[in-house]
Chains A and B, each alone.
Chain A
Amino acid sequence: ETGVTQSPTHLIKTRGQQVTLRCSSQSGHNTVSWYQQALGQGPQFIFQYYREEENGRGNFPPRFSGLQFPNYSSELNVNALELDDSALYLCASSLEQATYEQYFGPGTRLTVT
Protein backbone atom coordinates (compact mmCIF):
# COMPACT_ATOMS: atom_id res chain seq x y z
CA GLU A 1 0.00 0.00 0.00
CA THR A 2 1.54 3.30 -1.07
CA GLY A 3 1.06 6.48 0.89
CA VAL A 4 0.22 9.95 -0.35
CA THR A 5 2.67 11.24 -2.91
CA GLN A 6 3.11 14.75 -4.30
CA SER A 7 4.99 16.19 -7.22
CA PRO A 8 7.10 18.08 -7.77
CA THR A 9 9.06 18.34 -4.53
CA HIS A 10 10.24 21.87 -5.18
CA LEU A 11 9.23 24.50 -7.67
CA ILE A 12 10.36 28.03 -8.45
CA LYS A 13 8.04 30.32 -10.40
CA THR A 14 7.91 33.98 -11.31
CA ARG A 15 5.16 36.34 -10.19
CA GLY A 16 2.24 36.25 -12.63
CA GLN A 17 2.91 32.71 -13.83
CA GLN A 18 0.67 29.70 -13.34
CA VAL A 19 1.51 26.48 -11.52
CA THR A 20 0.05 22.98 -11.22
CA LEU A 21 0.77 20.75 -8.27
CA ARG A 22 -0.12 17.05 -8.22
CA CYS A 23 -1.17 14.62 -5.55
CA SER A 24 -1.77 10.88 -5.59
CA SER A 25 -3.99 9.76 -2.76
CA GLN A 26 -3.44 6.71 -0.64
CA SER A 27 -4.86 3.52 -2.10
CA GLY A 28 -8.61 3.28 -1.50
CA HIS A 29 -9.03 6.92 -0.43
CA ASN A 30 -11.63 8.96 -2.31
CA THR A 31 -11.18 12.32 -0.56
CA VAL A 32 -8.33 14.77 -1.07
CA SER A 33 -7.76 17.99 0.85
CA TRP A 34 -5.23 20.69 0.03
CA TYR A 35 -3.54 22.94 2.57
CA GLN A 36 -1.16 25.88 2.29
CA GLN A 37 1.54 26.21 4.94
CA ALA A 38 3.40 29.51 4.91
CA LEU A 39 6.76 29.64 6.63
CA GLY A 40 6.38 29.53 10.39
CA GLN A 41 2.61 29.02 10.23
CA GLY A 42 0.17 26.19 10.60
CA PRO A 43 -1.42 24.69 7.49
CA GLN A 44 -4.49 26.49 6.16
CA PHE A 45 -7.29 24.65 4.39
CA ILE A 46 -7.64 25.52 0.69
CA PHE A 47 -10.31 23.08 -0.52
CA GLN A 48 -11.39 19.47 -0.47
CA TYR A 49 -12.45 17.11 -3.25
CA TYR A 50 -14.74 14.16 -2.68
CA ARG A 51 -15.53 11.79 -5.53
CA GLU A 52 -14.39 14.37 -8.12
CA GLU A 53 -16.53 17.21 -6.73
CA GLU A 54 -15.34 20.20 -4.71
CA ASN A 55 -16.59 19.68 -1.18
CA GLY A 56 -15.79 22.82 0.73
CA ARG A 57 -13.39 25.69 0.31
CA GLY A 58 -11.36 27.82 2.65
CA ASN A 59 -10.67 31.54 2.42
CA PHE A 60 -8.67 31.46 -0.82
CA PRO A 61 -9.35 33.48 -4.00
CA PRO A 62 -10.71 31.87 -7.19
CA ARG A 63 -7.26 31.82 -8.78
CA PHE A 64 -6.73 28.74 -6.59
CA SER A 65 -8.55 25.92 -8.31
CA GLY A 66 -8.43 22.17 -8.34
CA LEU A 67 -9.44 18.93 -9.93
CA GLN A 68 -9.93 15.38 -8.84
CA PHE A 69 -9.67 12.55 -11.33
CA PRO A 70 -11.55 9.22 -11.50
CA ASN A 71 -8.60 7.50 -9.82
CA TYR A 72 -8.95 10.10 -7.01
CA SER A 73 -5.63 11.75 -7.68
CA SER A 74 -5.82 15.53 -7.61
CA GLU A 75 -4.33 18.73 -8.95
CA LEU A 76 -4.03 22.17 -7.41
CA ASN A 77 -3.74 25.02 -9.89
CA VAL A 78 -2.75 28.54 -8.98
CA ASN A 79 -3.02 31.33 -11.56
CA ALA A 80 -1.43 34.77 -11.52
CA LEU A 81 1.08 33.82 -8.85
CA GLU A 82 1.87 36.35 -6.15
CA LEU A 83 4.89 36.52 -3.86
CA ASP A 84 2.67 35.56 -0.90
CA ASP A 85 1.84 32.27 -2.59
CA SER A 86 5.30 31.05 -1.62
CA ALA A 87 4.61 28.20 0.78
CA LEU A 88 4.59 24.47 1.35
CA TYR A 89 1.50 22.96 -0.25
CA LEU A 90 0.27 19.84 1.47
CA CYS A 91 -2.14 17.28 0.16
CA ALA A 92 -4.01 14.92 2.47
CA SER A 93 -6.19 11.97 1.62
CA SER A 94 -8.84 10.20 3.64
CA LEU A 95 -11.11 7.22 3.22
CA GLU A 96 -14.30 9.29 3.20
CA GLN A 97 -14.97 13.00 3.55
CA ALA A 98 -15.96 12.82 7.19
CA THR A 99 -13.55 10.23 8.55
CA TYR A 100 -11.22 11.24 11.29
CA GLU A 101 -7.84 10.55 9.83
CA GLN A 102 -6.21 12.46 7.04
CA TYR A 103 -2.92 11.16 5.71
CA PHE A 104 -0.53 13.83 4.51
CA GLY A 105 1.95 13.79 1.69
CA PRO A 106 5.44 15.30 1.97
CA GLY A 107 4.37 18.54 0.31
CA THR A 108 5.50 20.70 -2.58
CA ARG A 109 7.65 23.71 -1.73
CA LEU A 110 6.66 26.58 -4.05
CA THR A 111 8.82 29.68 -4.27
CA VAL A 112 7.53 32.70 -6.18
CA THR A 113 10.12 35.31 -7.14
Chain B
Amino acid sequence: AQSVTQLGSHVSVSEGALVLLRCNYSSSVPPYLFWYVQYPNQGLQLLLKYTSAATLVKGINGFEAEFKKSETSFHLTKPSAHMSDAAEYFCAVRNQGGKLIFGQGTELSVKP
Protein backbone atom coordinates (compact mmCIF):
# COMPACT_ATOMS: atom_id res chain seq x y z
CA ALA B 1 0.00 0.00 0.00
CA GLN B 2 1.18 3.49 -0.74
CA SER B 3 1.38 6.30 1.79
CA VAL B 4 2.74 9.80 2.20
CA THR B 5 4.18 11.51 5.26
CA GLN B 6 4.66 15.24 5.42
CA LEU B 7 7.13 16.30 8.09
CA GLY B 8 5.99 19.42 9.88
CA SER B 9 2.36 20.49 9.98
CA HIS B 10 3.40 24.13 10.04
CA VAL B 11 6.39 25.90 8.53
CA SER B 12 7.10 29.60 8.92
CA VAL B 13 9.63 31.52 6.81
CA SER B 14 10.49 35.15 6.22
CA GLU B 15 9.74 36.78 2.90
CA GLY B 16 12.69 36.16 0.58
CA ALA B 17 13.90 33.09 2.49
CA LEU B 18 14.17 29.56 1.19
CA VAL B 19 11.05 27.43 1.40
CA LEU B 20 11.50 23.71 2.13
CA LEU B 21 8.50 21.47 2.65
CA ARG B 22 9.26 17.82 3.32
CA CYS B 23 7.51 14.78 1.94
CA ASN B 24 8.40 11.11 2.26
CA TYR B 25 6.52 8.38 0.49
CA SER B 26 6.06 4.66 0.71
CA SER B 27 5.34 2.70 -2.43
CA SER B 28 5.96 -0.84 -3.60
CA VAL B 29 5.94 0.27 -7.23
CA PRO B 30 7.58 3.24 -8.97
CA PRO B 31 5.57 6.15 -7.64
CA TYR B 32 3.86 9.02 -9.32
CA LEU B 33 4.11 11.98 -6.93
CA PHE B 34 2.39 15.33 -6.76
CA TRP B 35 2.40 18.57 -4.83
CA TYR B 36 -0.84 20.53 -4.54
CA VAL B 37 -1.49 23.93 -2.99
CA GLN B 38 -4.72 24.97 -1.29
CA TYR B 39 -5.53 28.58 -0.55
CA PRO B 40 -8.15 29.34 2.12
CA ASN B 41 -11.66 28.28 1.14
CA GLN B 42 -10.52 26.97 -2.21
CA GLY B 43 -9.92 23.64 -3.90
CA LEU B 44 -6.54 22.13 -4.73
CA GLN B 45 -4.25 23.44 -7.46
CA LEU B 46 -1.54 21.25 -8.95
CA LEU B 47 1.93 22.72 -8.39
CA LEU B 48 4.00 19.98 -10.00
CA LYS B 49 4.18 16.27 -10.66
CA TYR B 50 6.80 13.52 -10.94
CA THR B 51 6.00 10.78 -13.43
CA SER B 52 9.33 8.93 -13.71
CA ALA B 53 10.97 11.32 -16.15
CA ALA B 54 13.48 13.88 -14.81
CA THR B 55 14.11 13.63 -11.07
CA LEU B 56 14.12 17.42 -10.67
CA VAL B 57 10.67 18.71 -11.45
CA LYS B 58 9.82 22.35 -11.98
CA GLY B 59 6.35 23.63 -11.29
CA ILE B 60 4.36 26.79 -11.23
CA ASN B 61 5.08 29.89 -9.15
CA GLY B 62 8.81 29.11 -8.94
CA PHE B 63 8.44 25.86 -7.00
CA GLU B 64 10.42 22.73 -7.72
CA ALA B 65 10.82 19.29 -6.20
CA GLU B 66 13.45 16.60 -6.39
CA PHE B 67 12.63 12.90 -6.44
CA LYS B 68 15.19 10.90 -4.42
CA LYS B 69 14.51 7.19 -4.61
CA SER B 70 17.24 6.28 -2.09
CA GLU B 71 15.65 8.55 0.50
CA THR B 72 12.03 7.93 -0.62
CA SER B 73 11.60 11.69 -0.58
CA PHE B 74 10.00 14.33 -2.76
CA HIS B 75 10.67 17.62 -0.97
CA LEU B 76 9.25 20.88 -2.31
CA THR B 77 11.46 23.97 -2.49
CA LYS B 78 11.35 27.57 -3.59
CA PRO B 79 14.45 29.79 -3.43
CA SER B 80 12.67 32.94 -2.28
CA ALA B 81 9.35 33.02 -0.46
CA HIS B 82 6.68 35.53 -1.35
CA MET B 83 3.79 36.62 0.81
CA SER B 84 1.39 35.10 -1.74
CA ASP B 85 2.92 31.65 -1.09
CA ALA B 86 1.16 31.44 2.27
CA ALA B 87 -1.18 28.46 1.92
CA GLU B 88 -1.61 24.76 2.74
CA TYR B 89 0.56 22.37 0.75
CA PHE B 90 -0.21 18.71 0.17
CA CYS B 91 2.03 15.98 -1.11
CA ALA B 92 0.28 13.03 -2.78
CA VAL B 93 1.09 9.69 -4.36
CA ARG B 94 -1.03 8.10 -7.04
CA ASN B 95 -2.00 4.48 -6.54
CA GLN B 96 -2.87 2.00 -9.25
CA GLY B 97 -5.97 3.16 -11.05
CA GLY B 98 -5.37 6.83 -10.54
CA LYS B 99 -6.53 7.48 -7.00
CA LEU B 100 -4.57 10.05 -5.02
CA ILE B 101 -3.33 9.41 -1.48
CA PHE B 102 -2.57 12.65 0.32
CA GLY B 103 -0.38 13.57 3.22
CA GLN B 104 -1.70 15.52 6.18
CA GLY B 105 -0.61 18.83 4.73
CA THR B 106 1.85 21.55 5.72
CA GLU B 107 0.69 25.07 6.39
CA LEU B 108 3.20 27.61 5.12
CA SER B 109 3.29 31.04 6.76
CA VAL B 110 5.37 33.86 5.27
CA LYS B 111 6.44 36.71 7.54
CA PRO B 112 7.13 40.18 6.14
The residue that B42 contacts in the complex, of A94, A101, A106, with Cβ under 8 A, is A106
Find residues 85-113 in chain A having any chain B CB closer than 8 Å to their own CB: 90, 92, 94, 97-107, 109
Q: Which residues of B contact A35 (CB under 8 A)?
A: 100, 102
Asked if B101 and A45 make an inter-chain contact with CB atoms under 8 angstroms apart, the answer reads yes
Question: Given A56-B97, A90-B44, A100 and B102 touching (CB < 8 A)?
Answer: no
A35 to B100, CA, bound (A): 9
Residue of B nearest to A48 (CB): B99
Listed in ascending order, the chain A residues whose CB lies under 8 Å from chain B are 4, 31, 33, 35, 40-45, 48, 55-56, 58, 90, 92, 94, 97-107, 109
Determine whether B112 belongs to the interface, using a CB cutoff of 8 Å to chain A. no
- In the complex with contacts A105-B43, A106-B42, A43-B98 CB distance below 8 A: no
- Chain A residues, CB < 8 A from B32: 100
- B94 touches which of A4, A55, A100, A106 (Cβ 8 Å): A100
The reply to whether B102 and A43 form a contact with Cβ atoms under 8 Å apart is yes
Inter-chain contacts of A90 with B (CB < 8 A): 43-44
- Once A90-B43, A104-B44 are accepted as A-B contacts, the answer to whether A48 and B98 lie under 8 Å apart by CB is yes
CB contact under 8 A between A44 and B46, given known A97-B97, A100-B32, A100-B51 = no
Residues in A with CB closer than 8 Å to B105 are: 40-42
The residue of chain B having its C-beta at the shortest distance from the C-beta of A58 within the complex is B99
Across-interface contacts of A103 in B (CB, < 8 A):
46
Chain A nearest Cβ from B38, distance in angstroms? 9
Contacts A100-B32, A100-B51 given; does A45 touch B45 at CB 8 Å? no
Residue B77 lies at the interface, judged by CB distance under 8 Å to chain A: no
Instruction: Supply 25 A–B pairs (Cβ within 8 Å), ascending by A.
Output: A4-B43, A33-B99, A33-B100, A35-B100, A41-B104, A42-B102, A42-B104, A42-B105, A43-B90, A45-B100, A45-B101, A48-B98, A56-B97, A92-B44, A92-B100, A94-B98, A97-B97, A100-B49, A100-B94, A102-B98, A104-B36, A106-B42, A106-B43, A107-B43, A109-B41
